[in-house]
């Protein structure tokens, strides 16, 4: 059981947010709290953009900065659907290798130039060739073409069931042609979005000010005349901004102060996008032979008191799970949330069957931003079954690079739970980013092939089989899906997205 006082717990932050944090101190500016239609919407975010050039853009907690000035080709909704945006229609050919998009003909950028298919193709190619950490989303694209002014054709080397999802995110951002060779593109974006960046009122890394785009093609989603996004990297600064009424909506880095947030009269809006747990990466045993044995990986899963960990590190704000696929996924099976129970004796028995009755040692990295408490509890519970964690402190700037090098056979991690194919390409496939040992299992490869080339019904059913298989095989040791929280004041409402840490700009509205 957990032997750590709840009061001493420090909640870990999802890596997709925490490892991208700016070092600038956070502080909200005046102008929040108005809440009325036509006023100013002031938001708090936990990560500032590194550039406004779409070719180097990111999503997650940086999405509102981009969404304010650029439109995406497609739109992800709070209902979990994909809807038209700059592209009004789309269709695939029979084998799902050619995606054809119809582009709006009534959109202009803030420099007065028109949106055309050629401009879209230019943006897509720049993203594929650019510096975004998500450029790999387009790795399977053979070509982008514009046969006429309103048609874009994306030809794939093989089916990619996540392509439409990608076009709702940073790969789908569309800027004006003037951005392409603009030496100031990183700081002076030219887009067709609902707002225009006010560079004179913006302090890079701290405060970003926007004014309403008077010529925006979809005025129904422009709920405010002005937008301010303050970077609040420090949870205390965010809480102070909430208590002082200096914002309308704030992304919370952790769930430590939800009672204080609600006590200030704010609403906590929640989703469960990220999971936290262990990545058992060296499943072939090339660095740590013990991890090649499925019984060792299963023993690790039985070692954890997940409910206790959730209470100690997240104050109970989340849902215990032993699967990495999200609840919104076709692969999701509610029974897999409790596939591994807390059973140290069973864990010890499995280790003995695997030949490790006298215990074993596993090397894992640790990084301060994910919380010292979590590492202590993980090491404690593994020690209870005979596994010693050799913990190596790693600077935050090196953590991901070292993990993906790969330099460690396993690690505690907090990762975004993507939709089915996106998650497969992110964590499971032999070429996946978070499969750094390039581990391949013939059964998993067969499932991936069926999902990639199957129809929708096949994709859904096989994704479930894949999920069950990797849970049984102990590919990972998830602890829980952690609650992500966005607080809004009494004058503001928001709808959370099931597919992104930060809500869409359009989904913040004045309370009627």
- Pairwise CA distance, residues 193 & 191, whole Å: 6
- Pairwise CA distance, residues 503 & 246, whole Å: 19
Residue 1 pLDDT greater than 50, yes or no: no
pLDDT digits (tens, 9 = 90+) for 89-134: 999 999 999 999 999 999 999 999 999 999 999 999 999 999 998 9
- List every span in the chain annotated with CATH 3.10.105.10: 273-483
Query: Which of the four CATH numbers 3.40.50.2300, 3.40.50.300, 3.10.105.10, 3.30.1540.10 does domain 273-483 have?
Result: 3.10.105.10
Contact of 435 with 281, CB cutoff 8 Å: yes
- Pairwise CA distance, residues 121 & 213, whole Å: 24
Query: What are the beta bridge partners of residue 477?
Result: 278
Counts for the chain of helices (H) and strands (E), in that order: 14, 21
CA proximity to 274, closest of 213, 317, 303:
317
- Please report, for residues 85, 141, 176, 195, 433, the alpha-carbon distance to residue 127 in angstroms, rounded to integers and kept in the order given: 19, 12, 14, 22, 18
Residue 465 pLDDT greater than 50, yes or no: yes
Which CATH homologous superfamily contains domain 15-266+489-510? Periplasmic binding protein-like II (3.40.190.10)
Q: How does strand 249-252 pair with strand 476-488?
A: antiparallel
* Among the ranges given (29-38, 143-152, 370-379), the one the predictor scored with the smallest mean pLDDT: 29-38
Average pLDDT, the chain: 92
- List every span in the chain annotated with CATH 3.40.190.10: 15-266+489-510
- Pairwise CA distance, residues 332 & 296, whole Å: 24
- Rounded to the nearest angstrom, the gap between the alpha carbon of residue 455 and the centroid of all alpha carbons in its chain is 26
> What phi and psi values does residue 216 have, to the nearest 5 degrees?
-65, 140
Write down the pLDDT at residue 37.
57
Task: DSSP for 399-411, please give it.
Answer: HHHHHHTT--SEE
Tokens, residue 127: 């993203």
User: Collapsing DSSP states into helix, strand and coil, what is residue 468?
Assistant: helix
- Please report, for residues 202, 255, 256, 500, the alpha-carbon distance to residue 238 in angstroms, rounded to integers and kept in the order given: 19, 12, 12, 20
Write down the pLDDT at residue 268.
98
CA proximity to 269, closest of 110, 506, 442, 498:
498
pLDDT > 70: percent of the chain: 93
> What phi and psi values does residue 235 have, to the nearest 5 degrees?
-55, -30
* Among the ranges given (31-40, 150-159, 300-309), the one the predictor scored with the smallest mean pLDDT: 31-40
What's the predicted TM-score (pTM) here?
0.86
């Amino acid at each position: 059981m957990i032997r750590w006082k709840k009061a001493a717990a420090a909640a870990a932050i999802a890596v997709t947010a925490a490892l991208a944090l700016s070092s600038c101190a956070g502080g909200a500016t005046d102008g929040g709290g108005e809440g009325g239609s036509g006023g100013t919407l002031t938001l708090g975010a936990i990560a500032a953009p590194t550039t406004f050039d779409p070719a180097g853009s990111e999503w997650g907690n940086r999405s509102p900065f981009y969404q304010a000035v650029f439109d995406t080709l497609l739109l992800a909704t709070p209902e979990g659907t994909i809807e038209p945006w700059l592209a009004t229609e789309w269709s695939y050919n029979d084998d799902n290798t050619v995606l054809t998009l119809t582009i709006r003909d009534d959109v202009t950028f803030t420099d007065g130039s028109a949106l055309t298919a050629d401009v879209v193709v230019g943006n897509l190619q720049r993203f594929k060739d650019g510096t975004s950490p998500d450029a790999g989303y387009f790795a399977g694209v053979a070509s982008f073409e514009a046969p006429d002014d309103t048609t874009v054709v994306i030809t794939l080397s093989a089916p990619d069931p996540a392509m439409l999802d990608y076009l709702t995110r940073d790969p789908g951002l569309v800027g004006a042609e003037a951005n392409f060779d603009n030496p100031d593109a990183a700081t002076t974006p030219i887009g067709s979005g609902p707002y225009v960046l006010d560079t004179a009122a913006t302090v890079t890394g701290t405060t970003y000010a926007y004014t309403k785009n008077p010529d925006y093609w979809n005025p129904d989603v422009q709920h405010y005349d002005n937008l301010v996004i303050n970077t609040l990297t420090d949870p205390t600064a965010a809480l102070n901004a909430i208590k002082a009424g200096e914002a309308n909506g704030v992304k919370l880095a952790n769930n430590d102060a939800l009672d204080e947030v609600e006590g200030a009269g704010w609403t906590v809006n929640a989703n469960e996008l990220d999971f936290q747990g262990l990545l058992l990466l060296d499943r072939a045993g090339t660095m740590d032979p013990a991890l090649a044995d499925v019984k060792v990986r299963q023993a690790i899963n039985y070692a954890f008191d997940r409910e206790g960990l959730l209470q100690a590190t997240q104050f109970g704000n989340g849902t215990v799970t032993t699967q990495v696929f999200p609840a919104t996924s076709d692969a999701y099976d509610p029974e897999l949330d409790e596939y591994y129970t807390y059973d140290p004796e069973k864990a010890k028995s499995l280790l003995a069957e695997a030949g490790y009755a006298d215990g074993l040692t596993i090397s894992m990295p640790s990084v301060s931003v994910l919380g010292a408490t979590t590492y202590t509890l993980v090491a404690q519970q593994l020690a209870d079954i005979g596994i010693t964690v050799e913990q190596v402190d790693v600077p935050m700037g090196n953590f991901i690079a070292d993990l993906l090098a790969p330099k460690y056979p396993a690690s505690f991690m907090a990762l975004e739970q993507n939709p089915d194919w996106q998650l497969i390409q992110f964590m499971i496939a032999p070429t996946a980013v978070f499969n750094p040992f390039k581990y391949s299992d013939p059964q998993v490869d067969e499932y991936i092939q069926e999902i990639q080339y199957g129809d929708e019904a096949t994709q859904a059913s096989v994704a479930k089989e894949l999920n069950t298989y990797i849970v049984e095989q102990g590919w990972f040791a998830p602890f829980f899906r952690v609650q992500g929280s966005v607080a809004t004041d009494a004058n503001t409402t928001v709808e959370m997205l099931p597919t992104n840490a930060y809500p869409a700009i359009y989904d913040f509205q004045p309370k009627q």
